[in-house]
């Protein structure tokens, strides 16, 4: 039981984002965008697209075609 608690604590610390470095969060957001049939746009979505989320902490938008 102690090993499980230790492993959980280490996993939590590993996934905890470091201030100024959001690599893990950015990768998860990009993956989530792809799952939702979206694409990551640097400046903004095209006129026939809608924003469904964000791809990174820096402001990239997740866009997909309007239904």
For the chain, list the domains and their CATH numbers: 24-65 (3.10.360.10)
The whole-number pLDDT of residue 39 equals 92
pLDDT attached to residue 49: 94
pLDDT, tens only, 43-54: 889 999 999 988
Which tens digits make up the pLDDT trace of 13-53? 776 666 656 677 778 888 889 999 999 998 889 999 999 98
What does the pLDDT read at residue 52?
Answer: 92
Separation of alpha carbons 21 and 42, rounded Å:
19
Pairing type for strands 39-41 and 49-54 reads unpaired
Q: What's the length of the chain? A: 67
Bridge-based pairing state of the strands 39-41 and 61-65: antiparallel
């Amino acid at each position: 039981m102690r090993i499980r608690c230790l492993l959980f604590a280490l996993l939590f610390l590993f996934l905890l984002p470091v201030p100024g470095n959001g690599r893990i969060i950015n990768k998860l957001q990009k993956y989530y965008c792809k799952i939702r049939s979206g694409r990551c746009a640097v400046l903004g979505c095209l006129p026939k697209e809608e924003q469904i989320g964000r791809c990174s902490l820096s402001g990239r938008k997740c866009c997909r075609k309007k239904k």
